[in-house]
């Protein structure tokens, strides 16, 4: 079954967005199990020309499957309109050539995005995605033999942080704790986030907030600074006005808009949100990959 909306599936999957790890690559397909209306569904998606070809296994309708994929791959976003916008900006006009078909890869599970984003801070894509995969295999639910959902927040809040805690209080061998998944110093942050969203905050309320309220709410979670908060809101809740900013985005924006001057990350974030408006999240995504794929990033090191 084909959804006739343009996408570069591989680029989108492997772009490092902190909504989730890439789906499992099997031949020319990407596969993952998702909970759709509380039912496990195994999706198999692949590239077909410029479009997404998919099959699914699970007790849902084709309409529900298409709705889920439309959301996760942001297929209702008008890429051609966005490319027209880029072509009218001197600093951005080349980006669509290097990133054609790149879309947001949105979270089916916002809580997974929160933990993924916390794990991504000061970390490589390879390491944080492995950590999330390990957490899924240790404590998630197994469906269709080899596919796991991300564990519920109420489960993670009761997991031991490290070997020492497990030895002191546990009755299982070492290796069944958060640090065994390679999360390092982030383990207490993950535990606290799980506690907060189990007992103190309702995740479903965040999408009902305006951006600034949602941003300030997410910042209350230990281990979440401005960049991680923006990632959570962009990839986990589809707030497209977010402009996640780190040292690399600072260097790129400084090069393109401020003659290479050293400006702080906070100013870059404000500039991106003001300058690009509802396109801010997409521009940030394209800026990073344009810089990486065009060779600009190597020049800015």
Looking at the DSSP assignment, which residues form a beta bridge with residue 26? 29
Among 5, 179, 227, 240, the one annotated catalytic: 227
Task: Give the alpha-carbon dihedral of 177, 179, 183, 189, to 10 degrees.
Answer: 70
Residue keyed to tokens 């489960």: 155
Give the Cβ contact number of residue 115 at 10 Å. 30
Q: How far apart are CA 280 and CA 286, in angstroms?
A: 10
> What is the C-alpha separation between 183 and 180, in angstroms, rounded?
8
Q: Cβ(217)–Cβ(171) under 8 Å?
A: no
Contact 252, 122 (CB under 8 A): no
Query: Is the distance from CB of 250 to CB of 268 less than 8 angstroms?
Result: yes
Name beta bridge partners: 2. Answer: 53
Whether 227 is catalytic is: yes
In total, the chain counts a number of residues equal to 301
C-beta separation of 269 from 245 below 8 A: yes
* CA-based torsion, 62, 68, 73, 78: positive or negative: positive
Cα distance between residue 122 and residue 162, in whole Å: 20
For 228, residues 6+ apart whose C-beta sits below 8 A from its C-beta are 117, 118, 120, 121
Pair of tokens at residue 209: 């907030």
201, two tokens? 């905050």
Which residues are designated catalytic?
A: 227
């Amino acid at each position: 079954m084909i959804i006739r909306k343009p996408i570069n599936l591989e680029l989108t999957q492997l772009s490092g967005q902190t909504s989730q790890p890439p789906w499992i690559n099997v031949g020319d397909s990407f596969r993952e199990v998702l909970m759709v209306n509380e039912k496990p569904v195994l999706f198999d998606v692949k590239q077909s020309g410029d479009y997404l070809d998919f099959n699914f296994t699970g007790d849902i309708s084709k309409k529900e499957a298409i709705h889920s994929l439309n959301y996760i791959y942001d297929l209702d976003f008008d890429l051609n309109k966005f490319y027209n916008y880029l072509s009218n900006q001197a600093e951005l006009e080349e980006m669509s050539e290097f990133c054609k078909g790149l879309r947001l890869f949105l979270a089916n599970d916002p809580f997974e995005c929160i933990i993924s984003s916390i794990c991504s801070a000061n970390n490589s894509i390879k390491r944080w995605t492995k950590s999330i995969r390990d957490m899924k295999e240790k404590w998630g639910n197994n469906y269709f033999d080899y596919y796991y959902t991300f564990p519920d927040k109420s489960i993670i809040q009761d997991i031991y942080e490290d070997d020492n805690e497990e030895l002191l209080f546990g009755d299982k061998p070492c290796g069944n704790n958060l640090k065994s998944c390679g999360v390092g110093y982030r383990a207490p942050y993950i535990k606290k986030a799980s506690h907060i969203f189990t007992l103190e905050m309702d995740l479903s309320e965040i999408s009902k907030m305006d951006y600034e309220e949602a941003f300030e709410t997410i910042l209350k979670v230990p281990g979440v600074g401005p960049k991680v908060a923006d990632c959570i809101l962009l990839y986990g809740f589809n707030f497209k006005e977010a402009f996640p900013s780190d040292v690399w985005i600072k260097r790129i924006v400084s090069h393109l808009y401020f003659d290479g001057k050293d400006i702080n990350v906070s100013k870059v974030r404000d500039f991106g949100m003001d300058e690009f408006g509802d396109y801010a999240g997409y521009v940030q995504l394209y800026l990073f990959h344009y810089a990486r794929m065009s060779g600009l990033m190597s020049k800015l090191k």
